[in-house]
Amino acid sequence: MSKNGNEASVPAGRLSRLARMTRIAASVAGGMVAEGARQIRDGNRPRIQDLLLTPQNAKRISTELGKLRGAAMKLGQMLSMDAGDIIPKELAEILARLRSDAHTMPRQQLNRALVKAYGKTWREQFTSFEYEPLAAASIGQVHRATTLNGDDIVLKIQYPGVRRSINSDIDNVAILLRMSGLIPKKMDLAPLLVEAKAQLHDEANYLTEAEYLRAFGKALGKDKRFIVPRLHQHLTTDSILAMGFADGAPIESIAELPQTERDRVVAALIELMLHELFTLNMVQTDANFANYRYQHENGRIVLLDFGATRRFAPEFVTAYRELLKAMLADNQSAMVDAAETIGYVVNDVHPTYRQLLIDVFELVGEVFRADAPYTIKGARLSARMTEKTLAMKDYRNDWHAPPIDAIFFHRKLAGMFLLASRVDAQVFMRPLLEAVL
């Protein structure tokens, strides 16, 4: 039994996962009927959205998707961080719970996964194996072990059935979103769903992640600010990733350190993000705080989990460079041209909605344009951004799915800004950006 009592067997078959998704829909619908009846008795005329987004339904959705895990949970995580201009704030908050609500596999199911990967004598490959996971996420959980050579390693073990359920999971979540009435009927989600499926198929193949782990290790091997765990290829399969154990405290723990050290750490991560996009054209797009650790004894940053790495086409990188140049110059016309090249719909929309989009770009530009260290928390950047995205709700007919590459990069950018705000760092962003432009 897990120490936190958070075990739940992962439904591995397609039918069992569909049945679970159906139960989620039925449970939410039942909650809506009950809440609607209560409000009508009280003399109210509730809207569908108000009935759907109750605290009780929020708990139902996040709890059940957390048990389901896999692509359904991953898509929820992605939407909660990246699509504030697609889904209502209330639904984003429901989905945000999925970033911390993962369950773990029971020991019996874990053993079956290890036997499938290594054979019945899998324990003979290790001198020790810890059944209690170090962490659990959407598509796998992490266990510490010691090899026969005495190497201290971790094994990221994929939940059974994750890969073969990706397409159906995403389609089912999309159906639920459509049925909810929260997504405008005319909005074309198909390209976003196709890309989400492709990205998640990549993330679910640990041999692909192994190559990214090796590539980042090579690219950052001489940068003493960072630690990239070493790949253990002989123990790595398409469903288990083996790498060196790298200890460290949660990255948020730097909030207790002196201002200069907080600033240095966040600046290093933002510089790395820009290096990834403009030099490597390869970005680890998941800025979940759990993917970073801090070693207090030497000030080094441990980088974890390269499954969400995405390679960006030169055309996107070039267009995004032009967008950032326009932001630095505070040139709205050039901003709009670059945004349209990237794939945003800026011109063929209501004028007020167009200005709100430009205002969002301007807020990002403000961070990089500042001529002194910028304090995201002090500037209330998140609150001001939320004000703009909430105002967009009045223009549902103008909503368009953002370009997929921009969604993935903005996922990383938003995570870095959130970290800077959480630890109250002051970072002089302009020279970091000018160095890569």
Which active-site residues does the annotation give? 286
What angle separates helix 190-203 from helix 404-422, to the nearest 10 degrees? 70
- Residue 183 CA to its chain's centroid (Å): 21
* CA distances (Å), origin 18, targets 13, 69, 159, 172, 402: 9, 13, 17, 8, 28
Considering only CA atoms, which of 269, 275, 175 is closest in space to residue 226? 269
Between CA 13 and CA 160 the distance in angstroms is: 9
Between CA 432 and CA 437 the distance in angstroms is: 9
The answer to whether 9 and 106 are in contact (CB under 8 A) is: yes
Between CA 33 and CA 152 the distance in angstroms is: 53
152-158 and 309-311 as β-strands: parallel, antiparallel, unpaired? unpaired
Between CA 16 and CA 38 the distance in angstroms is: 33
Between CA 251 and CA 227 the distance in angstroms is: 13
DSSP 230-250: PB-GGG--SSEEEEE----EE
DSSP 324-382: HHHHHHT-HHHHHHHHHHHT---SSS-HHHHHHHHHHHHHHHHHHH-SS-EETTTTTHH
Between CA 403 and CA 345 the distance in angstroms is: 9
The answer to whether 280 and 220 are in contact (CB under 8 A) is: no
Between CA 422 and CA 431 the distance in angstroms is: 22
| DSSP-H helix ranges across 204-331 | 206-219, 259-275, 314-329
